[in-house]
Amino acid sequence: MGDFVETTGGVRHAFVLSPAGQMLASSGALDREQAEQFATMVFTLGVLAQSLDTVCGAGRARRTLMNLSSGVLCHMALPSGFFLAVVAQSGGNSQQVGHEATCLADRVGPILAPEIRAEPHNRLLG
């Protein structure tokens, strides 16, 4: 996550959350308390986005872009219920942030798939 933030213009923070809302990876730019608060907010946003399908039948939300006064939040649903959140500073191009976050999700998502996460464990048992 730290490499993504350092190499992607305008991005300030990046996080991956578990389906239960636990912080799994972060760019390390926030202290622990701030990161936990952010994880709670991002998880809540994810649950809200998923609830839209239940209520409206519009399909599962894949990406949410939120334009804030001081930046942009891009929230994405990853495989197996994980979430990716990217925060960029104001003045950035929200579509570019969304594109970069999608590219990151394409790299991170497969790593979080249950069959991939189980491989090292299975090797140890085998």
Q: pLDDT digit string (tens) for 48-85?
A: 888 887 888 877 777 888 888 888 888 888 877 888 88
- Residue scoring higher pLDDT (84 or 28): 84
Please write the tens of the pLDDT for every residue from 87-117: 888 776 677 777 888 888 888 877 776 654 4
How would DSSP label each residue in 3-30? Answer: HHHHHSTTEEEEEEE-TTS-EEEE-S-S
pLDDT of 55 reads: 84
> With bands split at pLDDT 50, 70 and 90, how would you rate the model's confidence at 118?
very low
Q: What superfamily would CATH give domain 2-125?
A: Dynein light chain 2a, cytoplasmic (3.30.450.30)
Q: Give the single-character DSSP code of 69.
A: T
* Residue 102, pLDDT score: 83
**With contact defined as beta carbons under 8 Å apart, do 78 and 102 qualify?**
no
